[in-house]
Amino acid sequence: MGVFKRLMTGAAVAAAMAGGAQAQDDPVRIALVVKALGIGFFEAAHKGAEEAAEELGNVEIIYTGPTDTTAEGQIEVINSLIAQRVDAIAVSANDTDALVPALKKAMDRGITVISWDSGVAPEGRQLHLNPSSSPLIGNMIIKLAADHLPDGGEVAVLSATTTSTNQNVWIEEMNKVMGDYPGIEVVATVYGDDLADKSYREATGLMQTYPDLDAIIAPTSVGIVAAAQAVVDAGKVGEVNVTGLGLPSEMAGAIESGASKSFAIWNPIDLGYSATMLAYNLATGEAEAAPGAEIPMGRMGTLTLDDNTEGAMADPFVYDASNIDEFKSIF
Amino acid sequence: MTALLKSREAILLAAILALLALIAARFPGFVAPSNLVRVFTDTSPLIILALGQMCVILTRCIDLSVAANLALTGMVVAMLNTAAPDLPVAATLAVALALGAVLGAINGVLVWKLDIPPIVVTLGTMTIFRGLIFLLSNGKWINAHEMSASFTGFPRAEILGVPMLAWIAIAAVLLLAVVIARTPLGRAFYAVGGNPHAAVYTGLNVGRTQFFAFMISGALAGLTGYLWVARYSVAYVDIAGGFELEVVAACVIGGISIMGGIGSVGGALLGALFLGVVKNALPVVDISPFWQLAISGSAIIIAVAFNAQSSRGRGRVILRRAEHRT
């Protein structure tokens, strides 16, 4: 498996080099390492990275990652990138700590390392680009539900697993701002384990336990789709609004059926674009990653780093019936 | 022996009824007829898979690839549907059954001709099938809006107020009951699993019997693949991840001996229903998700302990008789 992956990465790089060599002698080679290949979200980020590369000119994007979402797979990919002497690695990590030794090795060899989307511990990267900040997301998911409930109402949360860090932090942040949404009551938090069948069952259970439920907030892409299907099957379209975080391609059916009025997700194209811009600026020495630094990222403005050298890109982007058709074919 | 089996099923049935009563005490709506139909429908995929798994376990094998088979067949029929939305549902069902049977036959051939332990074979094919889904789909999801209305509508279509999905499970139970009780193949499952050496002497081909068990399991998994994808209106690499263990658990709870040769269609049905009731009840009775896992796990261990107890008793009886003769 390891050899196979290395060969694959090698072949991809060779192909990329063959293409790039004609245009530029020594382009800045930025590797975009994703959690796993073949995920729509990351394919879209790749699109954004290519957009940034085109804008910058002298940049070559190496889009790579393991075939399954494991830290081991990513370490192999990173080691092969070090061997290829890329200029920068921008990684969405499968594990906060496991990648640190490999990434440290990369930094020791003078390679710029940043993490984006899913972060690496501070000692393993120069900066981390959050797609959004947890407070912004926590506020957004409750706002999405509240916007359609002017007179208040009951909402329930359908999360991933009980141990999913992301979801737990978002729900915590959501609870902090509940005071801004008078009349909205969170009646339950249930866990669908990111399995379609369990999420469906939990959503059905919510509608049974709380007959007056007005909205289900699912800050997870598997859960939101399953909840929407459960609402359709229960014949509660129009009564229960499913919202949260999901991908436009996966949620197009739910928007069409009316089970979901709107949902949000960061724009992965913007994310890939910003990560590439940041990696380029650091690799070429135009900016330095330090607490408080402001690093330009093209059309997305600037990233302000906090004490942990982390920064947030923007508010999550809201998708509804007006723009779903445009985005469903993208990611 | 039959009396013991019957009583074991009776005990399980009593356990399910007691469970329902307990749930009804906390959430009366759960035992409303419409909700029981819903629970049965929700459990249908598990029932169908447990029936197939039962055939395999009866022959002293195990099929860990059922969930992967389900996911692969589901992905194939979903892709077929996006390519040819006008394909009639009957054709989709035929493709699902056939493809599932072929995948099951691969397991069967490996066990039969190469004599590899079934747990190793199916562990391997499980990974291969999941990998194939990735290669076929490039890891992309097939979503509700890409599937045709008739494709996703079929399992939901109601006859006499009961969804098609549940009717298919009922049909599978009846069909398997006939196959197990009334056909040479069904009887061969017991003979091969109960005592393979004796089966050979009576002229049964052990490998061939196991091959057919795997094929039945595969065909049912393929069928469930279509139903699953249509029901949840989504197909991706990880659907039904880890479901094979739930299927084995349903069989074990249903009193099907993992050592082969013991078990019944009724047991598989009740075992699946027991898990189905637990899974559907836990979200509505407001039990912490951590307890949910512990409860499902305890049910399995209790069932296994029960099985071990009964088979140990049987062994003692044989020894005592042998003692008397000498």
B37 touches chain A (CB under 8 A): no
Tens digits of residue pLDDT in A265-300: 888 889 999 999 999 999 988 888 888 888 888 888
Nearest CB to A250; choose among B35, B141, B289? B141
Query: Which residue in chain A is spatially nearest to B41 when comparing CA positions?
Result: A201
Please report residues of B whose CB lies closer than 8 A to that of A198: 279
Q: Would you tell me the crossing angle of helices B289-325 and B243-253 to the nearest 10 degrees? A: 50
Q: What is the largest CA-CA distance in chain A?
A: 66
Instruction: Please indicate, yes or no, if residue A224 is contained in any of the structural domains.
Output: yes
**Chain A: closest CA distance from residue B282 (Å):** 9
Q: Are residues A138 and A260 in the same domain?
A: yes
Nearest to A229 among B137, B232, B243 (CB): B232
Considering the domain architecture, whether residues A207 and A110 belong to the same structural domain is answered as: no
| pLDDT bucket at A7, cuts 50 / 70 / 90 | low
Contact B194, B102 (CB under 8 A): no
User: Strand A213-218 to strand A153-159: parallel, antiparallel, or no bridges (unpaired)?
Assistant: parallel
Does residue A173 form part of some domain?
yes
Residue B134 with chain A: CB contacts under 8 Å:
38, 67
Q: Are A259 and A147 in a shared domain? A: yes
**Count of Cβ atoms closer than 10 Å to residue B290 Cβ:** 10
What is the nearest CA distance from A206 to chain B, expressed in angstroms?
7
Q: What is the pLDDT of chain A when averaged over all its residues?
A: 86
The full DSSP string for A252-268 is HHHHHHTS-SEEEE--H
Together in a domain, A216 and A174: yes
Domain end call among A239, A265, A291: A265
| Residue-wise pLDDT tens digits, B263-305 | 899 999 999 999 899 888 888 887 776 777 787 788 778 877 8
Give domain status of residue A329, yes or no.
Answer: no
Q: Are A233 and B241 a contacting pair at CB < 8 A?
A: no
- Cα–Cα distance for residue pair B206/B189, rounded to 1 Å: 9
Who wins on pLDDT, A26 or B116? B116
Distance between CA atoms of B57 and B50, rounded to whole angstroms? Answer: 10
**Partner A, chain B 172-231, Cβ-Cβ below 8 Å:** 228
Q: Could you tell me whether strands A59-64 and A294-296 are parallel, antiparallel, or unpaired per DSSP bridges?
A: unpaired
Distance CA A178, CA B192 (A): 63
> Quick one: A167 and A245 in the same domain?
yes
Q: Which CA distances in Å does A236 have to A196, A229, A240, A256, B155? A: 19, 10, 6, 15, 19
A324 within domain boundaries: no
Probe site for chain B from A163, A197, A330 (most B CB atoms < 10 A) = A197
Tell me the count of A-B CB pairs closer than 8 A: 79
Smallest Cα distance from B102 to chain A, Å: 26
What does the DSSP 8-state code read for residue B59? T
CB nearest B232 (choices: A37, A67, A197): A197
Lowest mean pLDDT among A15-19, A76-80, A101-105, B227-231: A15-19
What the block records as the tokens of B226 is: 């279509």
Pairwise CA distance, residues A160 & A173, whole Å:
16
A295: closest CA of chain B, how far (Å):
34
The Cβ of residue A147 has, within 10 Å, a number of other Cβ atoms equal to 14
User: A195 and B241 in contact by Cβ < 8 A?
Assistant: yes
Q: Which phi and psi angles does B198 have, rounded to 5°?
A: -60, -35
Instruction: Name the residue in chain A with its Cα closest to that of B277.
Output: A201
Both A181 and A272 in one domain: the answer is: no
Residue B234: list chain A partners with CB under 8 A.
196, 225-226, 229, 250
On whether any CB of chain A is under 8 Å from the CB of B313, the answer is no
**Is residue A14 located within the same domain as residue A125?**
yes
Report angle CA A159, A164, A170 to the nearest 5 degrees: 65
State which amino acid sits at residue A212.
D
CATH code at B2-325: 1.10.3470
In this structure, is residue A286 part of a structural domain?
A: yes
- Residues in chain B, overall count: 326
Global pTM reads 0.75
Q: What's the confidence (pLDDT) of residue A3?
A: 57
What's the gap in Å between the CA of A253 and the closest CA on chain B?
4
One-character DSSP codes across B220-263: HHHHHHHHHHHHHT-B-TTTTTTHHHHHHHHHHHTT--TTSS--
Q: Same domain, yes or no, for A259 and A143?
A: yes
Chain A residues at the B interface, defined by Cβ less than 8 Å, are: 36-40, 67, 162, 188, 190-191, 195-198, 200-202, 204-206, 208-209, 225-226, 229, 233, 249-250, 252-254, 256-257, 328
- The span from the CA of A31 to the CA of A106, in Å, is 12
CB contact under 8 A, A208 and B29: yes
Domain span at residue A233 reads 134-265
CA B291 to chain centre: 24
A328 within a domain of the structure (yes/no): no
Structure tokens at B82: 């996006």
**Mutant choice from A37, A42, A208 vs B, greatest count of B C-beta within 10 A:** A208
Q: Are residues A52 and A151 in the same domain?
A: no
Which of B127, B141, B290 should be substituted to probe chain A, the one whose Cβ sees the most A Cβ atoms within 10 Å? B141
Q: Look at chain A and count its residues.
A: 331
Query: For residue B181, what are the contacts with CB-CB under 8 A and spacing of at least 6?
Result: B265
Residues of chain B with pLDDT under 70: 1-7, 289, 308, 310-326
d(CA B97, CA B74): 11
Chain B nearest CA to A259, separation (Å): 12
Note whether A73 and A10 are same-domain residues: yes
Closest CA to B258 of B208, B308, B216, B211: B308
- Residue A239: burial class (beta carbons within 10 Å; 0-12, 13-18, 19+): middle
Strand partners, A32: A63, A90
Contact check, Cβ <8 Å, A200/B134: no
Token representation of residue A322: 């007006």
- Does A327 reside within a domain? no
Please tell me which of A5-19, A198-212, A302-316, B275-289 the model is most confident about, judged by mean pLDDT: A198-212
Number of domains in chain A: 2
Chain A contact for B137, CB < 8 A?
Answer: yes
Same domain? For A138 and A127 the reply is no
Which CATH number covers residue A37? Answer: 3.40.50.2300
What is the sign, positive or negative, of the torsion defined by CA atoms of A313, A314, A316, A321? negative
Q: What's the first-to-final CA gap in chain A, in angstroms? A: 28
A36 CB neighbours in chain B (<8 A) are 139
Q: From the CB of residue A97, how many other CB atoms can be counted at a distance below 10 Å?
A: 12
Name the token pair of A283. Answer: 């690799």
Q: How high is the pLDDT of residue A302? A: 87
Residues 6+ apart with CB under 8 A from A238: A258
Q: Does B140 touch chain A (CB under 8 A)?
A: yes
What is the distance between the alpha carbons of residues B272 and B263, in angstroms, rounded to a whole number?
13
Give B283's contacts in chain A (Cβ within 8 Å): 190, 201-202, 204-206, 209
**In whole angstroms, what separates CA A64 from the centre of its chain?**
16
Amino acid at residue number A113 = V
Q: Domain ranges in chain B? A: 2-325
Q: Is residue A14 located within the same domain as residue A119?
A: yes
Residue of A nearest to B35 (CA): A208
Nearest CB to A250 within list B137, B143, B243: B143
Residue A17 pLDDT more than 50?
no
For residues B262 and B109, the answer to whether their CB atoms sit within 8 Å is no
Assess whether pLDDT exceeds 70 at residue A22.
no
Instruction: Tell me the chain A residues in contact with residue B143 when contact means C-beta distances shorter than 8 Å.
Output: 225, 249-250, 252-253
Task: Report the alpha-carbon angle B237-B241-B247, nearest 5.
Answer: 135
Rounded Cα distance between B67 and A208, Å, is 29
- A105 CB neighbour count, 10 Å cutoff: 15
- Flag whether A209 is in a domain: yes
| pLDDT tens readout for residues A162-199 | 877 788 889 999 999 998 998 899 999 999 888 888 89
The phi and psi torsions of A233 (rounded to 5 degrees) equal: -65, -30
Does residue B138 sit at the A interface (CB-CB below 8 Å)?
A: yes
The residue type found at B149 is A
Q: Do residue B283 and residue A40 have CB atoms under 8 angstroms apart? A: no
A280's tokens: 């380029």
- The rounded distance, in Å, linking the Cα atoms of B87 and B98 is 16
CB B183 within 8 A of CB B61: no
**Tokens 């949620």 -> residue:** A251
The ipTM is: 0.74
pLDDT tens, residue by residue, A36-61:
887 777 888 999 999 999 999 889 99
The string over A163-190, giving b where at least 16 C-beta atoms fall within 10 Å of a residue's C-beta and e elsewhere, is: ebeebbebbebbeeeeeebeebebebbb
Name every chain B residue with its beta carbon within 8 A of the beta carbon of A206.
283
